[in-house]
Amino acid sequence: MLGKRDARAYQRARAHNRVSRGVTWSAAVAGRRLQGESSGDRLTLYISSLLIACGICLFAGIQATFARSARGQDRVYLAFGCLSLLVSVYLALAASFYQAESVSTAAALARAEISFGCLIYPTGIWFFSLYTGLVHWRRWVTVAALIFAPLLVINLSSPYSLLYTDLTMRPPLVLPWGESVHDFSGTESPYLTGIYYTAVDACFLWAVCCCVVLWRRGRGARVWSLTLYLVVQATASVHAEVVNYHGGRGLTFDSLAFLALVLLMSGVLRRELQRRNQALAVSLDELRSETQRREGVEADLRHLAYHDHLTGLPNRHYMHERLQAALASTEPDDGALILFDLDHFKIINEALGHDVGDELLKGVAARISATAPASACIARLGGDEFALHLTSLTGTDESPAQAALRIARDITARLTAPLRIGNHDLVVGVSAGIAPLPGTARDVDSVLRQVDMALYRAKAAGRHTAVIFESGMQAQADRRLLLEKGLRLALDRGEFDVH
């Protein structure tokens, strides 16, 4: 936890204690010279070190806050960012205190410094609790806030801070390397000083206990940095006590001990963030690979669902959806559906085997694809049936139906050429039925019935020909269906006489 401050080096009850605090707003002013006695050409190492530490803490606080914003959920970065920003202001106040020209300025700076101390300790409890993974971290933060909040109010209302009842300027303090800083002494408050330092010591001991518990749990890799800071802070506090014991005329380094906390934890949190970012990058790569694999599987499944596995052509389901979209279009386009059926294909299958039959179907599919218009959709509906959906048949001297008939004849002529399958030269006949679109059909099932009737008429006409559907075919089919139904009914009733 945060250790004892420079104020700990102040003289006790019957002595005057030197107040050492300071403020700066960036490390850019670290080269500023003190405006004190004999300060003209001498080094300002101590003040510069405080200002540089202030700049480092300010940068670390801003970086941690933005790192937390980038991650969105990790509170430990926000807590460390707030702690670093408070420490940067605390160090700036310490540096400014050494440059104060009057008692009133020194009193205001001392009061501001103690105020930030009352904010630093609860914030330190917050950060330590989150970093060490305490389950009930909110309780500890609440307790620390309840302790330091009244001290903060009392400090703001006191003319010389809660630690002192008065403040006087002493002769400048000349440091061993020739740097001269202003020095002040004050009379301690008899009760509030003890309360304040008891609270500070309690925070320090609480932090030590947390580290001990985590070391015993085998989490030394997580808390070694906190342990090292506590050692540095304890060393600085012991040094401050020694200086205080010898009259309080000397430098203490409690404030700079805060820099050790910021530097150590900045490095640890930065490495943790880098490891998490690397793990996130690996996870993203794995997720991207998994997404690509799933997209590939979905594409394969979609292809299997809409394509024939033997010929690679679209299947009945694909053609059904295409025809449905064409019929539902608000801008109907004159087209046609052609249904091809191989004549006597069953004989080839039975005589030469299914392997030869499959190769024959592949050859037929390739020839239809090569002969059909580029804008046409070719599908295998099943068995030895192939469908060809034609669009945009207008714009020529032929009617859409005649254009479809011409295309159907060109394809059937191409298919009559012998196909070399293994050691066999096979010649197949092809019959075709044509249904104009949109025509009289209002749904896909009606279109398929019409093209089936036209194909049936082509087969009845002697095969190896193409026939266009006409409305009379539907009436004839209805009459045939009615006649078959009547014959079956008469047969069941025994209404036939043999002569």
Q: 396-426 burial, b for 16+ CB within 10 Å, e for fewer?
A: eeeebbebbbebbeebbeebeeebebeeeeb
Q: What is the pLDDT of residue 248?
A: 59
Q: What is the pLDDT of residue 70?
A: 54
300 is catalytic: no
Residues 6+ apart with CB under 8 A from 422: 356, 359
Q: What is the pLDDT of residue 279?
A: 86
Do 335 and 281 meet the contact criterion of CB atoms below 8 Å apart? no
483: Cα within 13 Å, side-chain hemisphere: 6
The encoded tokens of residue 477 equal 């089919």
Positions in the chain whose pLDDT score sits under 50: 1-42, 72
Which residue segments constitute the domains of the chain, with CATH numbers given? Answer: 6-283 (1.20.1070), 316-490 (3.30.70.270)
Which of these is catalytic: 6, 334, 341, 384?
384
Q: What is the pLDDT of residue 271?
A: 82
Using DSSP, state whether 184 is helix, strand or coil.
strand
Q: What is the pLDDT of residue 178?
A: 76
pTM: 0.55
Nearest to 254 by CA among 264, 266, 242: 242
Measured between alpha carbons, how far is 240 from 15 in angstroms, rounded to an integer? 15
Q: What is the pLDDT of residue 365?
A: 92
The β-bridge partners of 167 are 186
Measured between alpha carbons, how far is 155 from 112 in angstroms, rounded to an integer? 9
